[in-house]
Structure 1
Amino acid sequence: MAEPTALGATASTLVFLGAAVAAVPLLRFLGLSAVLGYLLAGVVIGPSVLGIFREPEVLRSIAELGIVMFLFVIGLELKPSKLLSMKRDIIGLGLAQVVIAMAPLLVLLKMGGLAGAGLFSVAFAFALSATAIALQVLGERGAMSTIYGQKSFAILLFQDMAIVPFIALMPLLAGPIEPGGGGKAMVKHLPEIAMAIGALVALVLAGRYLLNPFFRLLARTDAREVMTAAALLVVLGSAELMHHVGLSAALGAFIAGLMLAESNFRHQLEADIEPFRGLLLGLFFMSVGMGIDIAIVKANLALVLGGTFAILGLKVVLNYLLLRVGKLCISDAARAAVLLATVGEFAFVIVPLAETYGMISEQNGSLLTAVAALTMFFGPVLIKALEPFLVWLEKRRAKTETIEEDFSDAEGEVLVIGFGRYGQVVNQMFLAAEKNVTVIDRNIDRIRAAGKFGFKVYYGDGRRLDVLRAAGAENAAVIAICVDDREAASTIVEMAVRAFPQAKLFVRAYDRVHALDLMERGVRAPFRETFDSALSFGREALIGLGVPEDEAEEVRLDVKKRDIQRLMRQRDEGLLGGSDLLHGVTVTPEPLVEPKRKGRDISASPRPDSRGSADLEGVTGASS
C-alpha cells in the first residue's frame, strides 16, 4: 500500500473525510457514539486493514490539536469564579480518583510482567481517563451542566493538570538515583520549573489584560477572516507556549479560553474555532484507531482482551464507589463511573516515553498501546449499553418511591394545583398578598426541592377527586390550575366545575386550541401561558424601535382587545372565526362549492364564436 506521503495532501484529506462520512453516520444511525465511528474508520484505513496510512503516530501529533481546541472551547464556557467554586471537586475527587485507580492497577500490571519505574508510569497513565471521549459524550447528551457532568469534568481537569508534573518527573524515574543525587536532580531542574511557572503567570496576565483589547482592535476592521485567524493564533500560541516550557499544550489552551470566558468576544471565538475543533478531534480518534495493531491483538488475543475488560471493569467499580461516597445518586454515579473508565489519551504519550527511557520493552509497549486503544473503542459501547438500564432503573424507582398523601393541615382559601415554573410564580402572588394557600403536586423531586426553600407543597394527584376534596377544594374560594399537562388540566376542570361550584376557577391554558377547549368545559377566561408575556415582549420591542411608551401601550391594549374578541368568536364560529380582527391580514371569501367552469364577464360585447349553446350556459359560474 502507498505511504501517506505518496498519497499527497489532497488524497490524504479525501481519504480521511470519506472514512469519517461513511463510518460516523452509520454508527450514529445505530445509536452509538460518533467517537466509535471515528475509531472504526481509523482501524479500516490504518496499517492493520487497508494500510492506506502506516504511521498513525505522525498523524496523531497533528490530530492532538483537536484536544487543544476542545479544551479551549471548554475554557470559554467556564468562568474563573465557577472554576474556583469547583476547587474542592477538582482537588479532592480528582486526586482521590487517580490514587484509588492506581493502587489495583499496580497489582494488575505487575501480574502482567511490568516492574519498577515502568510499572508506576503505566499505572499512572492507565488510571487517567479519556478527556476527549468523556467531553464528547457529555456534549452529545447535553449533560455538561448536570451533577455527574460537573463531577466528571472536575476529575478530568485534575488529570490534565497532573499529567504535567508527571511527564516532567519521568526522566528522574528512568535513571538510577545515586545517594544524595535526588537533591542535585531537583536543583538541576529548577530553571525548567521556574520557566514553567513564569509561562503560566505570563499567560494568565496576557489573557486578563491583553486579549480583550487585542480582539477589540481587530473587530474594528470588520474582517471576519482576521478574527478567525486571531482565534487560531491565540489557541495555538498559548498551546505552543506551554509545550515549549514542558507543560501540557491542552492546559495552555484551556487557560487561554478561561481568561476569555467573560469576554464580549466569547461566542464569536467559539463559533470560529468550532469547525476546526470538530474535524481535528475526529482525526485524533481516527489516529487512535489506526494505532490498534490487529496482528498483535490476534497473537495475544486473550491477554489483550482480558486486560482491556479487566481495566474497564476495575475502573468502573472503583469510580462508582468513589462517586457514591461523594454523594452522587446511583444513576449519576454509574454514568460518571463508566464515562471515566476508558484509558486516557496521554497513555499514547507516556507509554512511548517509557519505551524511550528504557522502562518497558517495545513488545510490552505495543501490547499496552493496543489495550489502551481498545478501552477507548469499547468504552463508548459500554456507555451506550448502560443508559437504557439506568433509564429503566430510574423509572422503577420513581414508581416505588412515594410520599404519603397527608392533608391534615391543609386549610387554605386558595388551592394551587401544580408547582412547576408557572405555579411557582402564581404562588408568589398569593403569598405576597398574605393569602392562605394550599399547593399540591405529584412530582416528588419538585416537592423535595420546594422543601429546601421552605415551601410546603403537598403530594397529591390533582386528577383524583378524593385528593382535591382532601386538599380542601370544597372550602376553597379560588382554585388555580397551573399544571403543564393540557389533558390533566382539562380533566381537573371537568371535576372542579361539577364538584366545587363555590370556587372560582383560574386555569392555565397551553395554547389557543386548549383555551377554546377549556371554555367549552365551563372556564370563563383561561389564561394562555405565553400570551401576556408575548404582549409585554412586543411592547418593549416597539419602545426599543423608538415608539413612545404611551403609543406602545396603546398598541399592546389594542392587540389584546382584538385577540380576546377573536377568541370569543372562535368559540362561537369555529377556528377561523374573527380572522378579520388580525392586523396585516386580508380575508378573501371563498365559495362554498368549487365552480365547475371558469366565470366570464357577461357584460362584455359578445364575439362571434364557433362554440355551441351548451358552452354558453352558466358562464358566471357557481359564485353568482
Structure 2
Amino acid sequence: MDTNFLLQAIIYLSAAVICVPIAKKLGLSSILGYLLAGIIIGPYVLGFIGQEGQDIMHFAEFGVVMMLFLIGLELEPNKFWKMRKFILGMGAAQLIGTTLILFIGCLFFMDWKWETTLAISLALALSSTAIVLQTLKEKGLSNTSVGRSSFAVLLFQDIAVIPILAFLPLLSTVNLEATNNAPQSLITGYASWLQTVIVIGIISTIYFAGRFVFVPLLHIIAKTRLQELFTASALLLVVGVSYLMQLIGLSPALGAFMAGVVLANSEFRHELEGDIAPFKGLLLGLFFLGVGASINFQLIIENPLFIFVFGAILTLVKFAVLFVISRFHKNKIDQNLLFAFGLSQAGEFGFVIMSFSMQLNIVPNILANQIMAVIAMSMVATPFLLLINERIIYPNTRIQEKEIKKDNDYIDEDNPVIIAGFGHFGSTVGRLLRANQIKSTILDYDSDRIDLLRKMGYKVYYGDATRLELLKAAGCENAKIFIAAIDNPTVNLQVIETLKKHFPNLKILTRARNRNDAYELIDHKVEHIYRETLYSAVNMGVDALVALGLRKYTATRQGQQFIKYDEITTRKLAEKRHDKMAYLITIKEEIELQEQLLKSDIYSQVAATNHSWDSQHLKNNLADLSDSSELQD
C-alpha cells in the first residue's frame, strides 16, 4: 500500500465528495455519508487505507476540539453561569443513571469482574459530542430546548472524562508508572492538593490571558490587515490552549471550550468563528471517516450476536434514561424523543477510556476490542435512528399528543381571517391585522411557540393544519381569507391542497420561500403567492436606487412594476420548468422584455406627478425657490 500523503489525501477527499452528496440526496445526514465513506475505503471493504483509519483518529479528533471552541464562542460567560444547575442536573443524572443500570445489568448477566464492568459502563455512558452537535446544527436545532438540553449533557460528559481517567488507575493492579503508554502529565508526581492548585492556576491563567493578552494581541494583528495572519492566530490560540490543558492531564477539548467562552464577549468573536469554521468542518468530516474506517468487521463477523445484541441493549438503556430525564424536566414528547434518540449512542471518548483500560489491564484486549466495535456501530446507527424517529415515530406521537390536547385546543372563534403558522412570517402578518382591529384565528403546531404567544396575549390554537376536521373547527367554511404561512413548504402545500379540495370559495394568500415553491403553488391554481425573497430584495433595490439619486416616487414605482412583471414571468416559467432548454430560453426572453418594459415605463411617467408624494423632492424644490427669491432681492 502506497503511503504517499497526497495519495491518502485524494482517497479521503474522493470518498467524502462521492458519499456525502449521495447521503444528502437520500435524505440522510452528512455524518452518515462520512461514516459510510470510511467503511468503504477502510481495511475491511476496499482496503484503500489499510490500518490508517485508526491512526488518523488522533489527528481527526482535533475537529472535536475546534467544534467545542466554536461552541464556547457562542456561549457568553454569564449565560454559561446561568446554565450551571441545568448542566449539573441533567448531565449528572444521565451519567450516573446510565452507568448504574449498565453496571448492575452486566454484573448479573455477564461473567466479568466488577472492575471490568465498571470501566465498560463508564465508557459506554458517554455520548458522541461530534455526532450530536453536528446533527443539531444540520437540523437547525442548536438554539432550541432540545439543543440546550443536549449541549448541557454533552458538556458535563466532556468534563467528566477527566475524573474518569483519573479514577481508572484505582481499579487496576498494574503499576501505573510501569505502564509506558499510560496517559501522563507534568503534574502527575505532585501531591493531590498541589495538583488541584496547579489546575486552578492554569484555568485562571487562561481566563486572564484571554482577556488581557490575546485580545490586545488580536488588535495588533487586525491592524496588519492580513487575513492569513489572523487565521494563523486563531489556530494558535486553539492549539496552544489545548496543548496546555493536555500537559496538566485535562481534556484538550475542555480547554478549547474554555478559551471560546473567555473570548465570547470580544469584538473578534465572529471573525474567529469564521476563520476556525472551515478547519472544524474538514477535521470533523475526517473524524467521521476515521470512525467508519476503524470498525473491525472481522471481529463483528466472529461474534455478531454479542456485538449487535449488546449494542441494542446499550441504545435501549441510554434512550430510556434520557427520555425519563427529559420528561422530568417537563419537555414535550417530540422534544423527549429527539433528545433521547440523539444521545443514545456511545461516544468518541469511549475509545479513549477503553484504550486506557487495556493498558491498565482492567479490561481484556479481546473484550475491549469488542466494546470498541459496539461503540463504533452505535455511532453509525444514530443517523438511522433519528431518521426512523423523524419519518415514523414522531408523526404518530404527534397525532396521539393532539388527541390528548383536544379539550385544551377547542376553537370557539369564528373570525374572517385564519392564519396557519405563526413564526416570523405569519406573526408579522398577524400583528399588522391586529393593529388594524381585524381579528384572526391562529393555528400553529409548535407547542413551545404556542405557550410563549399565549403569555404574550395572543389566542393561538394547537393543531395540525393539514387535518380537515381542524380546518372546519377553525371556521374555514365561513372565513373570508386563509393565510398559509407555515415554515415547511411541503406542509404548506398539503394545507393548500386540502383547502382547494374542501373549501374552493375560500380566498388563499400563501407564503412561498422562492421561485421553485411558487411553481408548485401555481400548479395548484393558487392566485395570491407572496415570495419572501422577492419583496425584501425589491425593497432593498428601491432603497439603492434612491441612494443613487432617483426620486423616491420613481424608484418605488419601478419596484412595484418589477414585482408585477416578475409575477407574470413566474407563471410563464412554471409551465416550462420541466423542459430545461425551453425554460432557459424563456428566462432570457423574459428578462430582456422586463428590462424594456421598465425602461419604457420610466420614460412615460409624467414629470409633474412623478414626485407627487416625494417629500424630500418637494423640500429640495422649496429650497431652490427660496434661494432664487433671495437672489432676486
Give the TM-score category using the shorter length: 0.7 to 0.9
Amino acid at match of 2:164: F
Structure 1 Cα separation of the partners of residues 416 and 509 of structure 2: 12
How far does residue 452 in structure 1 lie from its aligned partner after superposition? 1.9
- Asked if 1:108 corresponds to 2:105, the answer is yes
Match runs of 1:444-593 below 5 Å: 445=446, 448-456=451-459, 467=475, 484=485, 537=540, 553=552, 582=598
Residue 94 of structure 1 is matched in structure 2 by 91
**Is the contact made by 2:558 and 2:602 (CA closer than 8 Å) also made in structure 1?**
no
Amino acid at match of 2:332: C
Specify the alignment match of 1:122 in structure 2.
Answer: 120
Shift of 1:199: 1.6
Q: Deviations over 1:219-260 (max 9, x none)?
A: 222222112211211111111111111111011111222233
C-alpha distance after superposition, 1:28-86 (max 9, x if no partner): 44433333333333344444442743254432211111111121222223333333343
Q: What is aligned with 1:614?
A: none
Letter in 1 for 2:144: T
Instruction: Give the superposition deviation at 1:356.
Output: 1.4
- Counterpart CA distance in 2 for 1:528 and 1:372 is 46
Residues 546, 565 of structure 1: alpha-carbon distance in 2 compared, 3 angstrom cutoff: closer
After superposition, the Cα gap between the structure-2 partners of 1:311 and 1:466, relative to the gap in structure 1 and judged at 3 Å, is closer
Distance 1:275 1:455, change over 3 A: closer
Code of the residue aligned with 2:441 in structure 1: it is I
Q: 2:241 touches 2:259 (CA, 8 Å); kept in 1?
A: yes
* Mean Cα deviation higher: 364-373 or 528-537: 528-537
Pairwise CA distance, 1:347: 0.9
Amino acid at match of 1:392: P
What residue is the counterpart of 1:165 in the other structure?
A: 163
Contact 1:536 1:556 survives alignment (8 Å) = no
1:32 aligns with 2:35: no
- What is the aligned partner in structure 2 of residue 76 from structure 1? 73
CA contact (8 A) 1:331 1:390 kept: no
CA distance in 2, matches of 1:147, 1:508: 29
Equivalent residue in structure 2 for 1:16, among 8, 12, 19: 12
- Residue 219 (structure 1) aligned with residue 219 (structure 2): no
Higher share of residues assigned helix = 2
* In 1: Cα distance, 2:538 partner to 2:551 partner: 10
Task: Assess, with a 3 A threshold, how the Cα gap between structure 1 residues 287 and 587 changes in structure 2: closer, same or farther.
Answer: same
Count residues in correspondence: 540
Q: 2:241 aligns with which of 235, 238, 241?
A: 238
Q: Which residue of 1 aligns with 2:441?
A: 440
Out of 283, 287, 291, the residue aligned to residue 284 of structure 1 is: 287
d(CA) in 2 for partners of 1:535, 1:18: 41
Alignment of 1:305 onto 2:283: no
Asked if the contact 1:27/1:34 (under 8 Å) is kept, the reply is yes
Cα 1:443/1:492, change in 2 over 3 Å: farther
Secondary structure at the counterpart of residue 152 of structure 1 = helix
Equivalent pair of 1:465/1:495 in contact (CA under 8 Å): no
72-81 or 134-143, larger mean C-alpha shift: 72-81
In structure 1, distance between residues paired with 2:381 and 2:530: 52
Distance 1:333 1:395, change over 3 A: closer
Q: Counterparts of 2:601 and 2:253 in 1: how far apart (Å)?
A: 57
Q: Deviations over 1:407-453 (max 9, x none)?
A: 4xx8xxx96543845665566567768x5x53322336566543222
Structure 2: how far apart are the matches of 1:368 and 1:39?
18
The letter for the 1-side match of 2:289 is M
1:405 to 402, 411, 423: 411
Shift of 1:171: 2.7
Per-residue CA deviations over 1:338-390 (Å, capped at 9, x if unaligned) read 11111111111111111112212222222221221221122222222222013
Contact residue 127 and residue 343 of structure 1 kept, 8 A: yes
Q: Which of 335, 339, 347 is residue 344 of structure 1 equivalent to?
A: 347
CA distance in 2, matches of 1:348, 1:273: 26
* Structure-to-structure mapping, 1:136-147, within 5 angstroms: 136-147=134-145
1:35 & 1:226 partners in 2: Cα distance? 31
Closer, same or farther: CA 495–447 of 1 in aligned 2, 3 Å = farther
1:57-68 mapped onto 2 (5 Å cutoff): 57-68=54-65
Shift of 1:106: 0.3
Please give the alpha-carbon distance, in whole angstroms, between the structure 2 residues aligned to 1:43 and 1:496. 54
Structure 1 CA distance, aligned partners of 2:563 and 2:368? 76
Judging changes above 3 Å, is the alpha-carbon distance between structure 1 residues 532 and 387 closer, same or farther for their aligned structure 2 residues? closer
Give the match for residue 54 of structure 1. 51
Is 1:354 paired with 2:357? yes
Q: 1:189–1:583: structure 2 CA closer, same or farther, 3 Å change rule? A: farther
The Cα shift of 1:139 comes to 2.0
Give the deviation of 1:94 after TM superposition. 0.8
The Cα offsets for residues 545-574 of structure 1, whole Å up to 9 and x where unpaired, read as 597xxx86566666578789999x99xxxx
**Cα deviation, residue 391, structure 1:** 4.3
Structure 1 length normalisation: TM-score?
A: 0.73
What SS is found at the alignment partner of 1:148?
A: helix
The percent of aligned pairs where both chains have the same amino acid is 32
Query: What residue in structure 1 maps to residue 372 of structure 2?
Result: 369
Kindly state the Cα deviation for residue 129 of structure 1 after the two structures are TM-superposed: 0.3
CA 51–222 in structure 1, closer or farther in 2 if over 3 Å, else same: closer
- Letter of the 1:74 partner, please give it: I
Cα deviation for residue 283 of structure 1 reads: 2.2
Distance (whole Å) between structure 1 residues aligned to residue 160 and residue 193 of structure 2: 18
**Structure 2 vs 1, CA of residues 363 and 204 (structure 1 numbering), >3 Å: closer, same or farther?**
same
- Does structure 1 conserve the Cα–Cα contact (< 8 Å) formed by 2:444 and 2:461? no
CA distance in 1, matches of 2:255, 2:239: 9
Please give the residue correspondences for 1:148-159 in structure 2 after superposition, counting only pairs within 5 Å: 148-159=146-157
Give the 3 Å change call, closer, same or farther, for CA 318–222 of structure 1 in structure 2: same
State the shift of 1:327 in Å: 1.5
- Partner Cα distance (1:139, 1:89) in 2: 21
Cα distance change, pair 57–190 in 1 and its aligned pair in 2 (3 A): farther
Contact 1:439 1:457 in 2 (8 A): no
Aligned partners of 1:422 and 1:482 also within 8 Å: no
**Relative to 1, partners in 2 of residues 1:322 and 1:565: Cα closer, same or farther, differing over 3 Å?**
closer
Comparing 166-175 with 553-562, greater Cα deviation is found at 553-562
Distance 1:161 1:97 in 2: 14
- Tell me the equivalent position of 2:611: none
Partners of 1:380 and 1:466 lie apart in 2 by 37
1:125 is displaced (CA, Å) by 1.3
AA at the equivalent of 1:97: Q
Q: Distance in 2 between matches of 1:170 and 1:246?
A: 14
The one-letter amino acid of 2:70's match is: V
Aligned to 1:383: 386
1:260 is matched by which residue type in structure 2? Answer: L
Amino acid at match of 1:404: Y
AA at the equivalent of 1:266: R
Compared with structure 1, are the counterparts of its residues 469 and 370 closer, same or farther at alpha carbon in structure 2 (3 Å cutoff)?
Answer: closer
Residue 256 of structure 2 is aligned with which of 247, 253, 257?
253
Q: Tell me the alpha carbon deviations over residues 309-364 of structure 1, each in whole angstroms, 9 at most, x when there is no partner.
A: 11112111221122122212222211111111111111111111111122122222
Amino acid at match of 2:363: I
The CA deviation at 1:128 is: 0.8
Q: CA RMSD in A?
A: 4.5
Aligned equivalents of 2:505, 2:397: Cα separation in 1:
32
Structure 2: runs of 5 or more not aligned? 176-187, 486-491, 522-526, 570-589, 605-633
Structure 2 letter corresponding to 1:68: V
Residue 329 of structure 2 corresponds to 326
